[in-house]
Amino acid sequence: MKISLNEVIHWGNRNLGFSQYSLKVISTNSRAIRLYKDLGFTLREKRFLRVTALPGGLTNLMPVSKEDSNTKEEMFTMEKFF
């Protein structure tokens, strides 16, 4: 996965002139966070979440204040600049 994402990032740099990448990841997804850090992404922001079950087994994650949060999970925004 590291090789694939690194290639996509470099392709975006070369072909589209991108100089910044941003992504969101759930705080409990430690494998993804480790991968993104290995690729040079840094933590920019942490947001509290409200988790709501939706029909069909779907889940809605909404950034909210700490007081309105109903889970220990947070949403991290990570960035990489060139």
Q: For position 43, what pLDDT does the model report? A: 97
Please say whether the beta carbons of 71 and 49 come within 8 A. yes
Rg (CA), the chain: 15
Per-residue pLDDT reduced to its tens digit, 64-82: 999 999 999 999 999 999 8
pLDDT digits (tens, 9 = 90+) for 29-64: 999 999 999 999 999 999 999 999 999 999 999 999
pTM (predicted TM-score): 0.85
Tell me the average pLDDT across 9-24: 96
User: Which pair of structure tokens corresponds to residue 51?
Assistant: 């988790």
Give how far Cα 73 sits from Cα of 3, 21, 23, 49, 53, Å. 28, 23, 16, 7, 15
The listed CATH number (3.40.630.30, 1.10.8.640, 2.10.109.10, 3.30.980.20) that belongs to domain 2-81: 3.40.630.30
Cβ 59 vs Cβ 51: under 8 Å: yes
